[in-house]
């Protein structure tokens, strides 16, 4: 039965189905992102680059300044 359905679809039908699918996918992603309760998760993720790791701070600063291996 499904085979008969797919065999009768034309190119315009496929483009319409794919457009509808991707619109629903996009709406689902938006709803997932803006769902209640996700704010704290995104705030925690936003703070990750600002948190300091005291052991590696000196190493990363000197490496980024190019002081190791200078000629």
Q: Which residues contact 53 (CB under 8 A, 6 or more apart)?
A: none
| pTM of this structure | 0.49
Q: CA–CA separation, 2 vs 17, rounded Å?
A: 15
Please give the structure tokens belonging to residue 46: 């936003």
pLDDT in tens, 27-40: 999 999 888 888 88
Specify the pLDDT at position 5: 63
Q: How many residues in total does the chain contain? A: 71
pLDDT bin (cut points 50, 70, 90) of residue 26 is very high
């Amino acid at each position: 039965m499904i085979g008969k359905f797919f065999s009768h679809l034309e190119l315009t039908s496929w483009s319409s189905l794919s457009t509808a699918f991707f619109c629903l996918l996009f709406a689902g992603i938006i709803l997932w992102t803006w769902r209640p309760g996700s704010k704290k998760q995104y705030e925690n993720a936003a703070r990750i680059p600002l948190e300091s790791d005291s052991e590696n701070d000196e190493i990363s600063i000197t490496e980024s300044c190019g002081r190791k291996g200078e000629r």
